Structures are given as C-alpha cells and as structure tokens.
C-alpha cells in the first residue's frame, strides 16, 4: 500500500461521529493521524466550541479543512436562531414553519427590554434584547382569542431536555427564567401535534444535513423519529415523558421506554408505511418537501456570513435539524444542532458519506481525477481549493453521493 498522502488531527474525544470518520480515514491508507497540537495538518476534526479559526490556513502551501463553519452557531443556539429567523428578510415566511418565539433575559442581567409594540425594531437594532413585554402582549392576545395558552421555555444553551418548563401561565414562565439566571427562549407550544398510534404518543423528526466546503447542501437519505413512551396529555404539563421526546428523559423517567419502538426510534421505512396506512399520505410528497424548503431557507440565509469559499482555509459541517408535525401534517422547525449525534445503526453509512461528500471532494483518494491536482500542497494557500476542487466561484456538487442528495 502506498504511503499516506494526507494528514489529520482529531481534537474532540467526545464526538462519536468523528471517531468513526477517523477510523474510515485511517482505513484508506491515504491518511495519517498527527498529534492533536501539530499545526501541519490537512484536516482538523475539531471540538465545536474550541476551534482555532484564526490560526487556520496560515501554514505555507498547505490545504486545510475543518469540520465546522465559523458563525454557524447563529442557527444552532436557540436565542441566536430566534433572532436570526425573526430579523432576516429572507425568512419572512417563517411564521409558516417556526413557532412564535421570544428571547427572554433574566432581570438580573439588566438587558434592555423591548416595548410591547414595535419590539422587532428593538431586536434588530440592539445586540441583546429582552422580549418579555412583547411576549406578554402576545400571550394575552392569544388567550383572549382562544388560540391556546400553552408555551414552553427553553434554555438557549440547554440540551438533552435540561432547562425546560411548560406552562399555561405567562407569569410563571417569566418567573422561571428569572430564577434560572440565563437567557431562555419562550416558544408557542404545539398543542395539537400529530400523534403516533398505538399509544397516542408525541414524536419529533431528526434530519441530518451536510454542508460541504463549496456550501452545497446535502440531505441524508435516512431520518429518525424520536418517540415518547407515554400518551400525550395536554392537561398535565408537568409530565415530561408525555411532552418531551429526548432520549435521556424517556430512558431515565419512563417505565415504558422501548415498549413501542426499540430505543424509542422509528426510521423512515417504518414511518412511510405508517403514514400511508394511517393517514393515506406519502412521506415523499406530504412531508419531505416542507422539510427540504425549511432546511434550504435557513442555511442559505447565513451563507453570506459564514461561507469559507474565499478564505485561506475551508469548512464543512454536519447539522441535525429537528422537526415536529401538527395534526394537519404541517412541518414545524423546532431547533438545529450543530454537532449532532447519530442513531447507532446509521453510523457506518452516515460517516462514510461525510468522508465521500465533504472530505474526499477536497482531498481526492484516487490516482486518476478530473481535477488538475490531488496534492495536499499548493504554492498559494488562497488558490489551493480552486485547484483541488476544480472550482468555479460556486461549484455545484454532484446530485447524489452515496446516501446524500444535494438540495
């Protein structure tokens, strides 16, 4: 076997996805793993919140690729996402697919409070805005019109179901956030979700999306429903197993965990049959077009500010988009994860797809290639990806690469 052509460093010991990617790279015989602090790498599999972006792309003549986009947290932190969606002209239709949401800062942080009227202008013109007055006005208007009074408070940095409170009472919600001491998002609760039978249970849908170094957006063919083990009960808002589908909550708190689906996961093949048999609709025509449009809108919105096409290093990133369906089969975006885990059985295929789409498109492994060079070195760092990717200003990637399809 020929000696390795490329080098990589791995700096995230907790990522199961990139542990698998590392194994795949080494198995090709074309990649060599360096010590984590070695700056002379082609590929960095870094830790999401500790990436040395400022030091990337400065090794003379060396093509460098990193597995995160700088600035993508605008979509992946709850408060930032709410602000982005509400203030971006490109997402003006978001009320059709994103639940009404407000950013609330605890009073002890002394964050400027937006007025109940024209609060959006305050949000646009200030780095931080407490929208509690706008929320309270909307809450009371909805209560009077009978549109539903259930809202959910979520910690902006929370994960795995932590920092969540559901209530009919607006004052309770605001008081909860003030006592937590950190920024939260208050969001209109989806009171009439589509439920799975048997069991009358809630679910959400995780979709994996890969953005390559040319900002081509690829959708992974498989999705997974994360299901609840307990019946949905709108009259008991304190039973988290009824309302939250997070694996950790279901596994730790529900005695019925795994009763309906192994590991409380339903994959798309089974969901396709369920939709056809129960609702007489097709996943491909009723659900996926809505999901694809939302994904494309969100990622295209931040492309101008995070794209690395004209930088001396390049990025790619795997995202996890979480959706819910209401009883009318309308798709709602819930949140976006910038470092998603993966269902166990999907790791081999998903991670091989990451290598094929995002890494091998930059660092070719075959000896014969359409590109003029497959060398990891270039006389000019700024031109390295133009050579290596045969790129025009925007190179559209292939429509299908393994389990991924370009949107």
Residues 6+ apart with CB under 8 A from 330: 97, 290
pLDDT digits (tens, 9 = 90+) for 342-367: 888 999 999 999 999 999 999 987 64
pLDDT digits (tens, 9 = 90+) for 224-266: 999 999 999 998 888 888 898 888 888 888 888 888 889 899 9
Half-sphere CA count of 40, side-chain side, radius 13 A? 5
pLDDT band (50, 70, 90) for residue 156: confident
pLDDT band (50, 70, 90) for residue 12: confident
Residue 153 has pLDDT above 80, yes or no: yes
pLDDT for residue 139: 95
Residue whose entry in the numeric block shows the structure tokens 């408070």:
153
- Rounded Cα–Cα distance for residues 223 and 403 (Å): 11
The reply to whether omega before 305 is within 30° of 0 (cis) is no
Residue 283 has pLDDT above 50, yes or no: yes
Residue 382 has pLDDT above 60, yes or no: no
In this predicted structure, which of 44-53, 124-133, 284-293, 386-395 has the lowest mean pLDDT?
386-395
pLDDT for residue 18: 94
pLDDT for residue 192: 95
pLDDT band (50, 70, 90) for residue 379: very low
Mean pLDDT across the chain: 88
- Rounded Cα–Cα distance for residues 39 and 36 (Å): 8
Residues 6+ apart with CB under 8 A from 155: 78, 162, 163, 164, 180, 182, 183, 184
Q: What percent of the chain has pLDDT over 90?
A: 65
pLDDT digits (tens, 9 = 90+) for 63-119: 899 999 999 999 999 999 999 999 999 998 999 999 999 999 998 888 989 898 888
pLDDT digits (tens, 9 = 90+) for 305-316: 999 988 999 999
Asked whether 203 and 172 are in contact (CB, 8 A), the reply is no
pLDDT for residue 374: 43
- Rounded Cα–Cα distance for residues 168 and 139 (Å): 10
Residue 23 has pLDDT above 80, yes or no: yes
Question: Who wins on pLDDT, 352 or 378?
Answer: 352
Mean pLDDT for 150-164 is 80
pLDDT for residue 376: 46
Residue 377 has pLDDT above 70, yes or no: no
Provide the b/e sequence for 176-211 (b: ≥16 CB within 10 Å): bbbebeebbbbbbbbeebbebeebebbbbbbbbbbb
pLDDT for residue 366: 65
Mean pLDDT for 13-32 is 93
pLDDT band (50, 70, 90) for residue 381: very low
pLDDT for residue 393: 54
In this predicted structure, which of 110-119, 130-139, 313-322, 329-338 has the lowest mean pLDDT?
110-119
Residue 380 has pLDDT above 70, yes or no: no
pLDDT digits (tens, 9 = 90+) for 199-223: 999 999 999 999 999 999 999 999 9
pLDDT band (50, 70, 90) for residue 158: low
Residues 6+ apart with CB under 8 A from 331: 97, 287, 290, 291, 294, 323, 324, 325
Q: What are phi and psi of 211, to 5 degrees?
A: -110, 120
- Rounded Cα–Cα distance for residues 182 and 105 (Å): 6
pLDDT for residue 402: 87
- Rounded Cα–Cα distance for residues 257 and 306 (Å): 40
pLDDT band (50, 70, 90) for residue 277: very high
Q: What are phi and psi of 284, to 5 degrees?
A: -65, -30
Residue 60 has pLDDT above 90, yes or no: no
CA nearest to 303, candidates 64, 72, 77, 66: 72
- Rounded Cα–Cα distance for residues 329 and 323 (Å): 11
In this predicted structure, which of 122-136, 262-276, 383-397 has the lowest mean pLDDT?
383-397
In this predicted structure, which of 15-19, 132-136, 279-283, 380-384 has the lowest mean pLDDT?
380-384
Asked whether 340 and 318 are in contact (CB, 8 A), the reply is yes
């Amino acid at each position: 076997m020929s000696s390795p052509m490329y080098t990589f460093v791995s700096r995230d010991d907790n990522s199961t996805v990139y542990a698998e990617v590392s194994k795949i790279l080494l198995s090709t015989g074309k990649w060599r793993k360096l010590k984590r602090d070695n700056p002379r790498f082609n590929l960095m599999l870094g830790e999401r919140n500790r990436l040395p972006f400022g030091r990337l792309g400065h090794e003379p003549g060396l093509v460098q690729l990193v597995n995160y986009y700088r600035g993508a947290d605008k979509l992946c932190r709850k408060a930032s996402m709410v602000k982005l969606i509400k203030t971006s002209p490109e997402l003006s239709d978001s009320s059709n697919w994103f639940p009404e949401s407000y950013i609330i800062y605890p009073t002890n942080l002394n964050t400027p409070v937006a007025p109940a009227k024209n609060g959006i202008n305050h949000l646009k013109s200030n780095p931080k805005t407490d929208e509690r007055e706008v929320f309270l006005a909307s809450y009371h208007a909805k209560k009077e019109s009978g549109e539903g009074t259930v809202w959910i408070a979520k910690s902006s940095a929370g994960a795995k179901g932590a920092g969540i409170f559901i209530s009919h009472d607006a004052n309770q919600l605001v008081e909860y956030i003030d006592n937590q001491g950190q920024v939260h998002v208050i969001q209109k609760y989806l009171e009439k979700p589509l439920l799975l039978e048997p069991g009358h249970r809630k679910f959400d849908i995780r979709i994996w999306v890969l953005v390559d170094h040319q900002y081509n957006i690829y959708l992974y063919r498989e999705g997974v429903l994360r299901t609840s083990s307990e019946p949905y009960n709108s009259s008991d808002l304190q039973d988290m197993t009824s309302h939250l589908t997070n694996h950790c909550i279901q596994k730790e708190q529900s005695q019925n965990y795994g009763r309906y689906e192994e590991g409380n996961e339903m994959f798309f093949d089974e969901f396709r049959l369920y939709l056809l048999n129960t609702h007489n609709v097709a996943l491909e025509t009723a659900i996926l077009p809505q999901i694809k449009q939302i994904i494309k809108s969100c990622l295209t919105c931040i492309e101008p500010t995070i794209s690395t096409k004209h930088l001396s290093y390049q990025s790619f990133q795997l995202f996890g988009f979480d959706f819910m369906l209401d009883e009318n089969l309308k798709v709602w975006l819930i949140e976006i994860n910038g470092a998603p885990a993966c269902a166990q059985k999907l790791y081999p295929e998903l991670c091989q797809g990451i290598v094929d789409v995002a890494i091998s498109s930059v660092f070719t492994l075959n000896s014969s290639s359409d590109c003029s060079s497959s060398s990891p070195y270039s006389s000019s760092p700024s031109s390295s990806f133009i050579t290596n990717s045969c790129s025009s200003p925007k190179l559209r990637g292939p429509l299908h690469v393994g389990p991924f399809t370009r949107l």
